[in-house]
Amino acid sequence: MTNVVRDPAVLEGYARDASGLRFVPEGVVRPASRDEVVALMRETAATGTAITPAGAQTSTTGASVAREGLLLSMRAMDRVLDIDVARRTARVEPGVLLGQLNHTLAAEGLFFAPDPTSDETCSLGGAIACNASGPRTLMYGATRAHVRALTVVLADGSVREFTRPRVEKNTVGYMPTHDLVDWFVGSEGTLGVIVAAELALLERPMRETGLGIPFPSAVEAIAFARAARASQDVVPRCLEYFDAEAFRIARGGGHGAAAVTDWGHDGQVMVYAEDCLAGDLAIDAWLALAESHAATDSDVRVFEGEAAVREARRLRHAVPAAMHERTAPYLAHGGRRISTDWAVPLERVEDAILLANGFALEAGHPVPVTYGHIGNGHPHQNWVAKDPEEVKSLEAVVERTLRAVIGMGGTVAAEHGIGKIKSRWLGLQASAEQVGIMRAAKREFDPAGRMAPGNILG
């Protein structure tokens, strides 16, 4: 029989993820092998018990807390099973942290490209189940593009191997069924438990350079990001935006990053760009582009080489981490971080930010802290809601923004999934037919509806 932990002190440790939602699970199971997952799924199929898989519980949408039934923590299954250097692939268990995985791969001159800024604290399984992305998604694409095959345990305990088809052409039936790997990437625990993945890896770049470029205002910064994407002279690997408050937080360091002095002035915003061509010529091209958008050469901070670029990433991560920390005192009073994940086509990103800020002010809230993946038209906006009333009012502001974002050809959620908190907005984005197809797939893989209840389909 599977060992289910029911000690209240242990259960409390799994009751919250990074969203601030709190659901104490009925029990926690921590399997160390695929066979233990199979045994659990078979035993619980008989009782109809709900199962919510969880990795490192850094979900910002409540996807990794168990609204009912058992929480299945996959953290103990964290082995790198095999690295094939010649084929540039690795077979890995889901519990490994992305940072650990890349540390192991570095010894072979390889890396796994998806880079959520939470990579030191989030698991591979969670990244696959959310189709996570990060700053360098601008160059490499999101997690989906780097998953070749998955081993999944379904709700009835059967083990299934899904491998991407190798064919270049296919006309058999409806396209969404051609490749079942795609159904599980981004499925947020609702279709089955990922117990292993075959990943496509890349060779580590020979050189890397980051540039932190302060600008007088968002107008110049966003125009710069657009120009960098259109340019033939620079090859951006990432383009990350920091509004004035985000830039202040980043300069202050913390969360593993050292504070940076003598950089930027109050009120300035910043764009962090990376280029893996590096070299003086590339840096000169970046500086010329920055200057043509009102940046000052002497304000630019260059992060040269792998260690310096890693430090720059820590400065970037300090922003969401600080917002998370600012919220902590209010969790017990029903407050939480309100964090958006919408994205729009790049040419509409300035309009979207201005609209969202205007909606916040109209509702009597401050403008949010705005930062993130500007090169993909994907900035995050964060507020600290101190109590349930502020949560409600700020979510109304977000919903108003999302309606506008969809009108601009955007998406409600570009990388965090929709979990439990944003599932109410599924219908804003997807038509009744699209939701119907999702429900049909859910019925097919999980007929009793016991996988991760509350996620995606509500």
Q: What are phi and psi of 247, to 5 degrees?
A: -65, -40
Tokens of 117: 């800024």
Q: Measure the N-to-C terminal CA separation of the chain; round to a whole number of Å.
A: 31
- DSSP H or E stretch at residue 236: strand 236-242
From residue 423, give the alpha-carbon distance in Å to each of 346, 412, 418. 25, 10, 5
Nearest distance, CB of residue 57 and ligand FAD, angstroms: 4
Closer residue to ligand FAD, CB minimum distance, 117 or 340: 117
**Kindly report the CA angle at 346 between 314 and 398, in degrees rounded to 5?**
75
Nearest distance, CB of residue 241 and ligand FAD, angstroms: 13
Hey, is 330 helix, strand or coil? Answer: helix
DSSP per-residue string spanning 154-222? -TTS-EEEEE----S---SS-GGGS-THHHHTT-TTSS-EEEEEEEE-EEPPS--EEEEEEESSHHHHH
Nearest distance, CB of residue 194 and ligand FAD, angstroms: 4
Closer residue to ligand FAD, CB minimum distance, 319 or 344: 319
Closer residue to ligand FAD, CB minimum distance, 265 or 424: 424
User: Using CB atoms, what's the residue nearest to ligand FAD?
Assistant: 126
Nearest distance, CB of residue 322 and ligand FAD, angstroms: 9
Closer residue to ligand FAD, CB minimum distance, 287 or 430: 430
Q: What are phi and psi of 224, to 5 degrees?
A: -65, -45
- B/e letters for 328-359, b = 16+ CB within 10 Å, e = fewer, are eebeeeebbbbbbbbbbebebbbebbebbbeb
Closer residue to ligand FAD, CB minimum distance, 353 or 451: 451
Strands (E), 327-386: 336-339, 369-373, 378-385
**Residue type present at position 274:** E
Closer residue to ligand FAD, CB minimum distance, 62 or 300: 62
Nearest distance, CB of residue 202 and ligand FAD, angstroms: 18
Nearest distance, CB of residue 70 and ligand FAD, angstroms: 12
Of the candidates 120, 117, 116, the residue with the CA atom closest to the CA atom of residue 96? 120
Nearest distance, CB of residue 76 and ligand FAD, angstroms: 11
Closer residue to ligand FAD, CB minimum distance, 52 or 340: 52
Residues within the interface to ligand FAD (CB under 6 A): 17-18, 52-60, 63-64, 74, 94, 116-118, 122-123, 125-127, 129-130, 132-134, 188-189, 193-194, 320-321, 324, 415-416, 452, 455
